[in-house]
Amino acid sequence: MTEPTTRSPGAADDASASRQHTLRERNLRLVARAIYDAAAAPRSPGAVPPSRADVATATGLTRATVSTLVDRLLVARLVTELAPVPAQRAGRPAVPLVPARRTVVGVGLEVNVDYLGVRVLDLAGDVVAERVGTGSFHDSDPAAVLARLGALASDVVAGVQADGMQVAGARLALPGLVDARTGELEVAPNLGWSSLDPVPPLGLGELPVVVANEAKLAALAELAGDVPPSFLYVSGDVGIGGGIVVDGALFLAERGWNGEIGHVVVDPAGPRCTCGAYGCLEQYAGKEAILRAAGLEADAPLDSLVALLRDDDGAAVEQARAAVVRAGQALGSALADFVNLTGVSTVVLGGVYTELEDWLRPEVEAGLADRVLAAPFAPVVVRAAVAGEHAALTGGAREVLREVVADPAAWG
């Protein structure tokens, strides 16, 4: 049975007051969402952002209510007014409302195997500050690496604060199993980290930092583009991560430890993986596996592989192309499993796969066509990620700001 509700004398009045409060907060959310949805939607040329009257129409609230709530969003610096535009019919000019620029910002942080970084986004989605450093963090000391990232982040945060911006919070992306309910890191195999709370070593004081899986945050970064509402995201790096987005939100059953496509079986007779099993996808399509198979050093820059692939001929070119073809075949096989098991029919290639798209795509598409049972009825669409390099930084900063806009009363 459901938990009994405790009731006391006067509970009706309290409940009514609390309902009023909740209603006002809900309406504030509705108004904020109307303005932000309009900003995110593709617009025809010449269309202008919504005015208070448009927001009233979109939300079904009265103009007076909308005006009061918009004023609250202006004071909280979540929304900005643009210069008035002449009204289409008779009446006062309309004042377009848009997400505010350079007021409230979110911070994306990341440690990955060969880089770490900080990126700050404002509510309009623009990058207002960024710092990325390289390194080799295989089997690294978490305290030292996190302290280095924390110092970088402190610098960046101090800079944006000096410019009058308020930092709402941060997300730290890590390439490993992060409990989506608690933010605890269980293990990041390619970093050699396990069972630690990575927040204190950052030394960022009061700044709220939430830890999340790298591929999941990178997947969320795609939502800024024109991706369909449901898609599978695969993030190629030294390790291979994945995320499942359904109707615009991450799928997070239990602890959210999904999308581990790097360890899907490609060939049980294949090479042994760092996870202990044999023939995992990572052994064919992980960044280091591809570079090695292409005859390059495991830590060679990806550009050197791309240069080889673009070259005209020669044995080195052949070997590089064969390595990427093999990676594409393995990726196609594992992605077919992913699609068959989740029923999501759009695949976004992120991380290093974005740059290798031209060479991977034919093999991936062939594997999906061969193996996806529903492909004749719902062809699988393969697309390259659009969020650019280090997408988890963008996705993390966006998540911070999404929460602010989703609950503006808590912020303003």
Q: Is the CB of 38 or the CB of 285 nearer to a second copy?
A: 38
The pairing of strands 231-236 and 240-246 is: antiparallel
Q: Supply the minimum distance, in Å, between the C-beta of residue 134 and a second copy.
A: 27
Write out the binding residues for a second copy, residues 63-102 only, by CB under 8 A: none
Residue 38 makes contact with a second copy by CB under 8 A: yes
- Judged by CB under 8 A, the residue of 378, 384, 386, 409 near a second copy is 378
Report the site for a second copy in 330-369 (rule: CB under 8 A). 333-334, 336-338, 340-345
Q: How far apart, in whole angstroms, are the C-alpha atoms of residue 190 and residue 169? A: 27
Among residues 2, 8, 44, 88, which is the contact residue for a second copy, using CB under 8 A?
2
> Whose Cβ is closer to a second copy: residue 204's or residue 331's?
331
Hey, what are 182's tokens?
A: 């608690």
Binding mask 155-194 for a second copy (x = CB under 8 A): ----------------------x--------xx-x-----
Is residue 373 involved in binding a second copy (CB under 8 A)?
yes
Question: Quick one: which segment of 128-136, 270-278, 292-300, 351-359 binds a second copy (CB under 8 A)?
Answer: 270-278
Binding residues among 276-295 for a second copy as defined by CB under 8 A: 276-277
How near is the Cβ of 255 to a second copy at its closest, in Å? Answer: 6
325 makes contact with a second copy (CB under 8 A): no
Token pair in block for residue 94: 């309309």
Among 70, 78, 218, 266, binds a second copy (CB under 8 A): 266
Among residues 105, 184, 121, 107, which one has the least CA distance to residue 150? 107
Report the candidate in 47, 46, 53 with the shortest Cα–Cα distance to residue 31. 53
Distance of CA 291 to the CA centre of its chain: 26
Give min distance, CB of 279 to a second copy, in A: 9
Q: Is 54 in the site for a second copy (CB under 8 A)?
A: yes
CA end-to-end span of the chain, whole Å? Answer: 38
Looking at residue 271, its amino acid is P
Q: Which of 261, 260, 284, 262 is nearest to 271 (CA)?
A: 284
Binds a second copy by CB under 8 A, chosen from 14, 37, 155, 358: 37
Closest distance between a second copy and the C-beta of residue 3, in Å? Answer: 8
Instruction: Compute, in degrees rounded to 10, the torsion defined by CA atoms 388, 392, 398, 400.
Output: -160
Cα gap 107→209, rounded to integer Å = 9
CB of 210 to a second copy, least distance (A): 18
Rule CB under 8 A: say whether 53 interacts with a second copy. Answer: no
Question: What CA–CA distance (Å, rounded) separates 65 from 112?
Answer: 47
3-state DSSP assignment of residue 284: helix
Q: Which two tokens stand for residue 73?
A: 């969003």
Instruction: Please give the structure tokens belonging to residue 301.
Output: 């820059």
How far, in Å, CA of 104 to CA of 36, rounded? 14
Q: At what angle do helices 391-406 and 214-221 cross, to 10 degrees?
A: 70
Closest approach, Cβ 350 to a second copy, in A, equals: 16
Among 210, 275, 306, 384, binds a second copy (CB under 8 A): 275
CB of 297 to a second copy, least distance (A): 27
CA distances (Å), origin 181, targets 127, 178, 206, 213, 377 = 28, 9, 21, 12, 36
Q: Does 210 bind a second copy (CB under 8 A)?
A: no
CA distances from 207 to 246, 360, 401 (A): 30, 41, 14
**Residue nearer to a second copy on the CB measure, 297 or 370:** 370
Site for a second copy in 379-398 (CB under 8 A): none
List contacts with a second copy (CB under 8 A).
1-5, 7, 33-34, 37-38, 41, 50, 54, 57-60, 177, 186-187, 189, 230, 242, 244, 246-247, 251-261, 263-269, 275-277, 333-334, 336-338, 340-345, 370-371, 373-374, 376-378
